[in-house]
Structure 1
Amino acid sequence: MRRPRGKASLRLALGLSALLIVFSLGAMALQYRATAAELERRERVLLTADLAGLAALYDQRRIIALRQAMEFRSVAAPETGMLYLLEGKDGAKLAGNIEAWPDGLTPTTGPIDATEPVTFMLDATGTPQAYIGVARELRGGFPMLVARSRAPTEDALAATRAQIFATAIVLIGLSLVAGWLASRFVMRRIDRLNKLADQVAAGDLSARLPGPRADDEFGALERHIHTMLDRIGHLTRAHGRLSDTIAHELRTPLNRIQGKLERLDGDPEAVAAVSSEIRGTVRIFDSLLEISSAEAASGGGTGLVPVSLSKITREVAELYEPLAEEKALEYGAVLQDPCMVLGDRNLIAQLLSNLVDNAIKFCREGDAITLSLEEGADRHVLNISDTGPGVPEEAREAVFERFARAERDREVAGHGLGLALVRAIATRHGAKLRVLDVKKGFSIEISWPKLPADMG
């Protein structure tokens, strides 16, 4: 049986990995915002400290001291990334490291502090840079600009973004690898259980998982499954033994009774009727023994050899062709060759005979019976359908049970064991039965496992 290889576990692992990545990226985004806020706060602190020193000098000695301080600080401006400019009332430069007032920037009145700073772009070093600063118009009409470059902050944030991106790539890669490894680990454990389930589904109730049980949830599950299979096997064997015992013990005295009846003198018709009833009862026991034997052998390959399902089906179809013609039925077979399977030739022929015989028995003049066999991708598909009365909907679920018969068919000869034997033989060969939903009649599909490649 082909199974999707770890799709569910892989989806779960990828989902958990994606969730971990989202949480990690969210945490890194919050960290980035916190870093950006801290760098901006430090910019403000440094700008405030610089302005506080200039304000103190201005309070003490006014423009002269302020001009000297700005000239002195302009010398170190390239290293500190500061901008200074002090202009006179006529707009002439008194001090600073830039020659003209930045475009679009207007000084405001107020104290020399970092309240209401402005951000602007200026090409002071040959490359446009962002600055944050304060533009004030001092008493007497002296414009003053003190600003700090935002390049260190932007460089630090760019480096942080690059680090976050690299970390995200690594994290995604590691998460995918971890998810894949976790999926492989889980799938190895699940595959063990799936293989066991396949063997049990094929009828091998003696199948067990090899090796010691791990002390985890999977190990506990394996132990529970083994315990369950032990119990099922015990009940199945007990049921089989009971059926065999009843069949054997009752068939023998019935045969003896029949032998004595044949030696008695009496009404020939009465003796014949009783003998016929006894023979029918013996046939029931024989069918029960055949069903039990087929069920007991289910799941094992003993006695199965490569056979042509096409050839067996063709022989059975030809065998029943005269009977179908006698009842004036439309009868035909469309069979694809060679359709090889691993099976028991006699049991397969018995399965086909039961199905064809049932179809002929219940069909009326003018009805059609069709046999088809074709090779599928994984299995050979055999279909036997007819346009007879079909099976009532309420009886479809129990159609393969022993002694199952529709109420309307009570007058038709039979004991309701034919389809039960069909199911037992199909199970013996690992074939799957399916009653198809058709508008008229009865149609059954049997999908047979292909012959293994190493046996072809």
Structure 2
Amino acid sequence: MSLTPPRNKRRRLTLARSASLRMTLLVAGGIILLSLGAMALQYRVTAASLQTRQAELLAADLESFAAIYEQRRIPALREAVEFRARSTPPGTALYLLQDRNGTTLAGNAAAWPDGVETTGDGFASEPQQSYMLPGPAGPVTYRGVARTLPGGFPFLAARAETPALATLTDLRRLIWQVGIGLVVLSLLAGWLVSRFTLGRIARLNSLADRVAEGDLAARLPGPRSGDEFGALEAHVHAMLDRIETLDRARQRLADMIAHELRTPLNRIRQRLSSLTGQDEALERIDADMASTIRIFDSLLDISSAEAARGQRPGLVPVDLSALTAEVVELYEPLAEDGDMTLTGDITQGCQILGERNLVAQVLSNLIDNAIKYCHPGDAIRVSLHLDGDRIRMVIADTGPGVPEDLRANAFELFTRAERDADKAGHGLGLALVRAIATRHGARIDLPATEKGFRIEIAWPMLHDT
């Protein structure tokens, strides 16, 4: 069986919840979008430029052929087409001149392409047609014009679009590669930044956990860096130094007052006991003295519990189920004397790590208060059940409950309702309960109820190992 209770399950920072990761990815995502946008714009500009260039080359070809045809007609055009076909690299342009019988007179095409119809006559650059022909390295897409010249001579001039399309395909591939590379680099940068940030924040979180468990003397080890995290650590240390100094001063003051005043009060009680006569007045004075001493004892208990909160030494396994049953059984006759019912609903096997006497004091204070403030016929119920990794203890009654205006301060010292002025007490019971619960790492709650009083304490469960 483990001798240490589980730490409070505080929310731990992970990369998935890291704000630094989200911020890094957000900034990187913006940069990626801008980069991809710029590359997409460059792609469109390049595509438009290649298309314009192809159109200009085709228009220049047609203009030169038209000028030659005007000078010497078909013979000169035949020579020009033949020269252009020989001087043009394969797969970049297509030129073809045939006679009226379909015999090739000049060009770099073996035959008239299938599906290409002549449209009009002359050398106008519009309308154009697209078609695909086999080339040295595979099919080639061409775009150009097909005309019927005077005398029935079919004429074809076209420029290959495949090289431009291949260039655009390579550009798209490059854009995708750059985009994927940017995403990978962004994730890597986000991971590195988050690991660095989480490592620095984890130091502060570990310090905060130790302080929350009551170790006000906790400090971060090692030298502090000169960045903003180092400055934050220095500020936290200065704050803890101040809090620790104030807490020690408060504890010393409380202990000093309680110790120094309890001793003379006890002496006064002893001297009063030696006096004779006026017994009734002496009894009242003795009762007041005893009440005052009980106040100091309670204050010392509260101060002691608060000073030891979060400290593990002195805590041992406690069978909370058996202890609760014992205390309920102890107070059942007292409840019956007041014509009240006290019942328990206790799950067996509930184990915690604690000080048995202090835990018993919590139960005793709460049940005693319930009996003190309830009326004949009221019911008091104590329940103990497992709730996740904690053990939930509930003490509820059908009595008058806590006035709404005192609910927020119910656990403060000397808090009492005016209606209870005739009841014995000093308003220290719930403050002591809270101090002991905090000492054991328990969470305490005072939920609103339609009738009566209800308090819930969630004790850390002692797990088997």
Do they superpose with TM above 0.5? yes
Q: In the alignment, does 2:131 pair up with 1:121?
A: yes
Report the aligned-residue RMSD.
2.8
**Map 1:30-109 → 2, pairs under 5 A:** 30-75=41-86, 79-86=90-97, 94-96=105-107, 97=109, 99-100=111-112, 103=115, 107=119
CA distance in 2, matches of 1:13, 1:329: 64
**Is the deviation greater in 210-219 or in 90-99?**
90-99
CA distance in 1, matches of 2:427, 2:50: 88
CA distance in 1, matches of 2:336, 2:118: 111
Compute the displacement of 1:54 (Å): 2.9
SS of 2:90's partner is helix
Give the corresponding residue for 1:362: 373
Q: In the alignment, does 2:384 pair up with 1:344?
A: no
Task: Verify the 8 A CA contact 2:335 2:342 in the aligned structure 1.
Answer: yes
CA distance in 1, matches of 2:437, 2:160: 85
Aligned residues: 452
Task: Verify the 8 A CA contact 2:118 2:148 in the aligned structure 1.
Answer: no
Q: Deviations over 1:409-437 (max 9, x none)?
A: 22221111011111111111111111123
Give the corresponding residue for 1:212: 223
Give the corresponding residue for 2:4: none
**Residue 326 of structure 2 is aligned with which of 295, 315, 318?**
315
**Map 1:200-239 → 2, pairs under 5 A:** 200-239=211-250
Compute the displacement of 1:290 (Å): 0.9
CA distance in 2, matches of 1:257, 1:205: 39
SS of 1:41's partner is helix
SS of 2:314's partner is coil
CA distance in 1, matches of 2:122, 2:444: 94
Q: In the alignment, does 2:20 pair up with 1:8?
A: no
Compute the displacement of 1:325 (Å): 2.1
Rate the CA distance shift 1:82–1:278 in 2: closer, same or farther, 3 A. same
Give the corresponding residue for 2:389: 378
Q: Deviations over 1:211-237 (max 9, x none)?
A: 221222222111111111111111111
Compute the displacement of 1:148 (Å): 0.8
CA distance in 1, matches of 2:31, 2:326: 64
SS of 1:319's partner is helix
**Is the deviation greater in 9-18 or in 317-326?**
9-18
**Is the deviation greater in 310-319 or in 96-105?**
96-105
Question: For residue 133 of structure 1, what is the amino acid of its counterpart?
Answer: G
Task: Verify the 8 A CA contact 2:65 2:123 in the aligned structure 1.
Answer: no
**Is the deviation greater in 318-327 or in 268-277?**
318-327
Compute the displacement of 1:62 (Å): 3.4
**Is the deviation greater in 220-229 or in 377-386?**
377-386
Compute the displacement of 1:323 (Å): 1.4
**Is the deviation greater in 359-368 or in 348-357?**
359-368
Question: For residue 202 of structure 2, what is the amino acid of its counterpart?
Answer: D
Compute the displacement of 1:173 (Å): 2.9
Task: Verify the 8 A CA contact 2:91 2:135 in the aligned structure 1.
Answer: no
Give the corresponding residue for 2:255: 244
Compute the displacement of 1:20 (Å): 3.9
CA distance in 2, matches of 1:88, 1:409: 123
Report percent identity of matched pairs.
Answer: 54
Rate the CA distance shift 1:137–1:437 in 2: closer, same or farther, 3 A. farther
Q: Deviations over 1:13-55 (max 9, x none)?
A: 4444444433333233223223323332332343344345434
Rate the CA distance shift 1:14–1:258 in 2: closer, same or farther, 3 A. same
Give the corresponding residue for 2:283: 272
Compute the displacement of 1:356 (Å): 1.5
**Residue 32 of structure 2 is aligned with which of 21, 30, 49?**
21
The runs of 5 or more residues in structure 1 that have no matched partner are none
Give the corresponding residue for 2:3: none
CA distance in 1, matches of 2:424, 2:131: 103
Rate the CA distance shift 1:140–1:11 in 2: closer, same or farther, 3 A. same
Which of the pair has the greater relative contact order for Cα pairs under 8 Å at 6+ separation? 2
The runs of 5 or more residues in structure 2 that have no matched partner are 1-7
Task: Verify the 8 A CA contact 2:397 2:453 in the aligned structure 1.
Answer: yes
Q: Deviations over 1:52-98 (max 9, x none)?
A: 54344334433322221112333455614212233567887654326
Rate the CA distance shift 1:408–1:62 in 2: closer, same or farther, 3 A. farther
Question: For residue 280 of structure 1, what is the amino acid of its counterpart?
Answer: S
